[in-house]
Amino acid sequence: MTTKESPRLDKPWQSVSPGGVVTDVGNSVAYITGTWRTLRPIRDMEQCTQCLICWIMCPDSAITVEDGKVAEFDYDHCKGCGICAERCPVNIKRPHSYTGELGKVIQMVPETAFDTDNA
């Protein structure tokens, strides 16, 4: 039922859907909102307790879970709101695997630290 075709930005006005009716239901998946992000959440997988609080809290369903465990961030749709990092209940004992800082398992890193738009 759903398709994953991205919104076409080359579509002329003559062929857009009249009234903005969306006939392709569930197509918000195809809308890449990850480009809006200025801060990227990074998880220290080794110190994560798999409580899944981040997965519950994420407003964009951008944390994927496999076999009952958090797997990775969906950076195509993560807008970098930081709720996962804010609500992460685990205060890590060792420095974070990416930032080297103490604090939470999930920490927000400025996008300027990365070369590419997405992950």
Partner 1 sequence: MVASRFMPLDGANAVSQAMRQINPDVVAAYPITPQTAVVQNFSQYVADGIVNTEFVPVESEHAAMSACVGASAAGARVMTATSANGLALMWEMLYIASGMRLPIVMTVVNRALSSPLNIHCDHSDAMGARDSGWLQFYAESGQEAYDNTIKALRIAESKELLLPVMSCQDGFITGHGVERVGLLPDEAVREFVGSYEPELYLLNTDSPITMGAWDFTDYYFEHKRQQTEAMNSAMPLIEAVSQEYESLSGRPQPILDCYGMDDAEYAIVVLSSTAGTTRSLVRQLRAQGKKVGVLKPRLYRPFPAAQIVECIRNCKAVAVMDRAISFGAPQGMGPLFTDITSALFVAGICDLPIVNYIYGLGGRDTTPPMINAVYDDLEEIASSGDRGDLVRYVGLRG
Which residues of the shown chain bind partner 1 in the complex (CB under 8 A)? 7, 9, 11-14, 16, 18-23, 25
Q: Which two tokens mark 74?
A: 């969906």
In the block, residue with structure tokens 């604090």: 103
Nearest distance, CB of residue 82 and partner 1, angstroms: 23
Pick between residue 43 and residue 77 the one whose CB is nearest to partner 1: 77
Pick between residue 2 and residue 50 the one whose CB is nearest to partner 1: 2
Beta strands at 69-73 and 63-66: parallel, antiparallel or unpaired: antiparallel
Pick between residue 7 and residue 89 the one whose CB is nearest to partner 1: 7
Nearest distance, CB of residue 25 and partner 1, angstroms: 5
Q: How far is CA 52 from CA 11, 25, 66, 84, in A?
A: 40, 28, 11, 10
